Amino acid sequence: MTVMPRLEDLEDKSFDPFLVEKLSTGDCPDPYPRIHELRAQGPVVDGSYRKQFTDVPDVQMGHLPQVMVLGYDAVMKVLTQPDIFRNKEAFENNLGRSFGNTITVMDAPIHTRFRKIFQKAFLPQVVAQWGESVVDPVVNRLMSTFIDRGEADLIEEFTHHYPFQVIYAQVELEPSQAPIFHKLAIAQILSSIGAPQGPEASAKLGTFFGGLLVEKRRNPGTDLISHLATVEVDGERLPDDVLISFLRQLMNAGGDTTYRGTSVLLTGLLTHPEQLAAVAADRNLIPQAIDEALRWEGPVTSTFRYAAQDTEIEGMPIRKGTYINTVLASANRDPRKFENPDEFDIFRSRSTRHIAFASGPHLCIGQHLARVEMTRALNAILDRLPNLRLDPDKPAPAIKGHLLRVPEHLWVKFDR
Amino acid sequence: MKKWMCMNCGWIYEQEVGDPEGGIAPGTAWEDIPDDWKCPDCGSLKSEFDMVEI
pLDDT in tens, B18-44: 999 899 999 999 999 999 999 999 999
What's the CA gap between A155 and A141, in Å, rounded?
15
Answer for the pair A109, A199: CB distance below 8 angstroms, yes or no: no
- What is the pLDDT, as a whole number, of residue A4? 79
Whether omega for the bond prior to residue A397 falls within 30 degrees of 0, making it cis, is no
CB A238 within 8 A of CB A231: yes
With residue A328 as reference, give the H or E element that holds it. helix A328-332
Instruction: Give residue A23's pLDDT.
Output: 67
**Would an 8 Å CB–CB cutoff place A233 in contact with chain B?**
no
Q: What is the pLDDT of residues A349-369, one digit of tens each?
A: 988 999 999 999 999 999 999
**pLDDT average, residue stretch A36-52:** 97
Residue A188 φ/ψ, nearest 5 degrees: -60, -25
> A321 pLDDT exceeds 80?
yes
- Inspect the interface and report whether the beta carbons of A123 and B21 lie closer than 8 Å: no
**Chain A partners of B52 at a C-beta cutoff of 8 Å?**
123, 125
Average model confidence (pLDDT) across chain A: 93
Does ipTM come in above 0.85? Answer: yes
- Residues contacting residue A369 through CB under 8 Å, at least 6 positions apart: A122, A127, A130, A254, A258
Distance from C-alpha of A269 to C-alpha of A289, rounded to nearest angstrom = 8
Distance from CA of A368 to the nearest CA of B (A): 8
Confidence of residue A383 (pLDDT cuts 50, 70, 90): very high
Question: What per-residue confidence (pLDDT) applies to A251?
Answer: 80
* Residue A216 amino acid letter: K
Q: How sure is the predictor about A20, in pLDDT bands with cuts at 50, 70 and 90?
A: confident
Within 8 A by CB and 6+ apart from B52, the residues are A123, A125, B2, B3, B4, B5
- Position A172 pLDDT exceeds 90: no
Instruction: Give the confidence band of A140 by pLDDT, cuts at 50, 70, 90.
Output: very high
Interface test with A, best of B13, B21, B42 (most A CBs within 10 A): B42
Residue A212 C-alpha, separation from nearest chain B C-alpha, in angstroms: 27
Cα dihedral across residues A193, A196, A199, A204: positive or negative: negative
- Please answer yes or no on whether A359 and B54 come within 8 Å at the CB atom: no
- The answer to whether the CB atoms of B7 and A123 lie below 8 A apart is yes
DSSP E strand boundaries for A228-273: 232-233, 236-237
Going by their DSSP bridges, the two strands A399-400 and A406-407 should be labelled as: antiparallel
For residues A188 and A204, give the distance between their C-alpha atoms in angstroms, rounded to a whole number: 9
Cβ-defined contact of B9 to A124 (cutoff 8 Å): no
Q: If you average pLDDT over residues A181-198, what whole number do you get?
A: 85
Number of other CB atoms surrounding residue A231 within 10 Å = 15
Q: How far is CA A190 from the centre of its chain?
A: 16
Q: Which positions in chain B touch A353 (Cβ < 8 Å)?
A: 21, 40-41
Binned at pLDDT 50, 70 and 90, residue A19 comes out as confident
Query: Which of B7, B20, B42 shows the shortest C-beta gap to A361?
Result: B42
pLDDT of residue A186: 87
What backbone phi and psi angles, to 5 degrees, belong to A229? -70, -25
Nearest beta carbon to residue B43 from set A124, A353, A360 = A360
Pair A249, A104: CB distance under 8 Å: yes
At residue A276 the predicted structure's pLDDT band, cuts being 50, 70 and 90, is very high
Residue A225 in 3-state DSSP? Answer: helix
Strands of A260-315, DSSP E:
303-307, 311-313
Residues 137-176 on A with a CB inside 8 Å of B are none
What is the pLDDT at residue A224? 85
Annotated binding site of B for Fe cation: 6, 9, 39, 42
Q: pLDDT tens-digit profile of A48-104?
A: 999 999 887 777 888 999 999 999 999 999 999 999 999 999 999 888 988 999 999
The number of C-alpha atoms within 13 Å of A248 and in the hemisphere containing its C-beta is: 32
Give the 3-state secondary structure of residue A7. coil
- A361 CA: distance to closest CA in chain B (Å): 5
Q: What is the mean pLDDT of residues A25-39?
A: 92
Give the nearest partner residue to A360 out of B20, B42, B53, using CB atoms: B42
CB contact under 8 Å between A116 and B8, yes or no, is yes
User: Which domains occur in chain A, in start order?
Assistant: 17-413 (1.10.630.10)
In the prediction, which pLDDT does A208 show? 94
pLDDT over 70 at A24, yes or no: no
> Rounded to an integer, what distance in angstroms lies between the CA atom of residue A312 and that of residue A315?
6
In chain A, which among 65-124 make CB contacts under 8 A with chain B?
80, 82, 112, 115-116, 119-120, 122-124
- Spatial distance between the Cα atoms of A210 and A245, rounded to a whole number of angstroms: 10
Architecture of domain B2-53: Single Sheet (2.20)
For residue B41, the chain A residues in CB contact (below 8 A) are 353, 359, 363
- Closest partner residue to B41 (CB to CB) among A82, A124, A363 is A363
**What is the percent of chain A where pLDDT is above 90?**
74
Kind and range of the H or E element at A32? Answer: helix A32-41
**Inter-chain contact B42–A353, Cβ cutoff 8 Å?**
no
DSSP string covering B5-46: EETTT--EE-TTT-BGGGTB-TT--GGGS-TT-B-TTT--BG
